Amino acid sequence: MKLTDRPGNATLVLLASLYCAQGLPSGLVAHSLPVLLRQHGVDLGLIGLLKLLALPWLLKVLWAPWVDRMGSSRLGHHRGWILPLQGTVILCLGGLALLAPHLLFGSAFWLLLGLLLLINLAAASQDVATDGLAVRLLPARWRGLGNSLQVGGYKVGMLASGSGLLLLIGPLGWNLSIALLAVGLLLLTLPIWRFRERQLLPRHAALAEPAGPGLLLRHYRGLLAQPGMLAWLLVVLTFKLGDALGSPMIKPMLVDQGWDTAALGQLTLISSLAGIGGALLGGLLYARLGALRSLLAFGALQALGLAGMALLVGAGGKPLLVYALCLFEQAADGMSTVALFAVMMSMCRAEHEGADFTLQASTQILLAGLVGACSGVLAKLLGYQALFVGAGVLAAAMLGLVLWYFLRVRQTVVVA
């Protein structure tokens, strides 16, 4: 396959299925279970423990190098991780489907948390192998399209196990709804089951260091020693800071203007679809625009969308305006995320793809998480309007780092 060739439909279906599968556990934990637990009278403090279930996604950087190094000689390297890990999630969901909800949300609550932690551990580890597989499968020019599938597929999975599950539980009940979720995940496993990795993606052992003691240090020290990598990580660290500052306060701002749960749920669903559409559009445009122009153009749209939220302060009674701005902001977010992830893939070394991408992804959420945690305090001190304008200005200012990297640093770095 040439570097300019568009990946085949089988490759696109494979990646879409894997990323959609990853979104299923996240939607269940983040959106469905808090509602169901509260409906069954579970204490808010215990519901808050669900946040700890995301720890494997933050800590996976610690074991990602071993996912790159160790694999199955019979199943294929990445496939040898993905199949058993996705099978583990299916079995856990099957176990949840066999238990009565009044037990899971009552005396067996800690069993529920344990199964959910195992699901997140398996899904986070599978993500490392999936990202490594995606980097190897996608020609450089089409990594934007591949990341469209990553962003879009993940959101589809979250919608299915979030909003979709809540809609199904009413007529079908907990057990049948979770069973259907497990069956859906089983169907999403078929493309990777049929994928002939050993024939299509042979390993190059000479490029990989042995998986012995000190692998973690050797792996990341080697990545950070790449020319321009520290400068690139600074771009990764800051590119989404404006979004992290502004987006958490959009829904609280609308709540303060009288939007109820049903109206916000509908807005969330439609804007999520806009985000998926934006991700797909961004991936297609990335192939034409390239890395620098995509980051600048999509980043500028992201900044404009965040600043535009200031127009909604005091305008909550104008649903058409709310929908227009929220859909634009979500579409721009999808486009900018796809562009960033595509360049991150280009910075991965051969035979180090999964862990190299994982470190960059972890870097991306590190500072963004801290800034997001401060967004509520800043909204209270400055007001919503100033917060959104500030978020837009911050997002636009970070584009200066993008220009600095590509124009001053990139000549020492090979970015396809």
pLDDT digits (tens, 9 = 90+) for 13-40: 899 899 999 888 888 877 778 777 777 7
Lookup: tokens for 330 = 């979500």
Residue with tokens 């600043």: 307
The predicted pLDDT at position 416 comes to 40
Query: Which residue has better confidence, 259 or 383?
Result: 383
Handedness of CA 208, 196, 355, 56 (dihedral sign): negative
Q: What distance in Å separates the CA atoms of residue 379 and residue 372, rounded to the nearest whole number? A: 11
Amino acid identity for residue 24 in this structure:
L
Q: What percent of the chain has pLDDT over 70?
A: 94
For the chain, give every domain's residue range. 8-196, 216-416
Maximum alpha-carbon separation in the chain? 63
The token duo for 93 is 């969901």
pLDDT of residue 205: 62
Name the residue with tokens 């085949």.
Answer: 8
Q: CA torsion, points 59, 63, 64, 66, in degrees to nearest 10? A: 180
> How does DSSP classify residue 230?
H
pLDDT (0 to 100) of residue 261? 66
List pLDDT tens digits, range 137-149.
888 777 887 788 8
- Model confidence pLDDT, tens digit, residues 78-113: 888 999 999 999 999 999 999 888 888 888 888 988
What is the Cα–Cα distance from 209 to 395, expressed in whole angstroms? 39
What pLDDT does residue 150 have?
82
Report residue 4's pLDDT band, with 50, 70 and 90 as the boundaries.
low
Strand partners, 72: 76
Alpha-carbon distance 275 to 253, whole Å? 20
Q: What is the Cα–Cα distance from 350 to 355, expressed in whole angstroms?
A: 11
pLDDT by residue (tens digit) across 336-356? 999 999 999 888 888 788 889
Least confident of 187-191, 305-309, 351-355, 411-415: 411-415
Distances (CA, A) of 192 to 14, 74, 82, 196, 296: 6, 14, 8, 8, 35
Specify the amino acid at residue 17: S
Q: Name the token pair of 99.
A: 């238990």
Q: Which amino acid is at 319?
A: P
How confident is the model at residue 221, as a pLDDT?
Answer: 87
Superfamily grouping for domain 8-196: MFS general substrate transporter like domains (1.20.1250.20)
Q: Taking 70 as the threshold, does the pLDDT of residue 330 lie above it?
A: yes
Domain 216-416 annotated CATH 1.20.1250.20: yes
259 SS3 class = coil
Question: Does pLDDT of 415 surpass 50?
Answer: no
> What CA–CA distance (Å, rounded) separates 44 from 385?
31
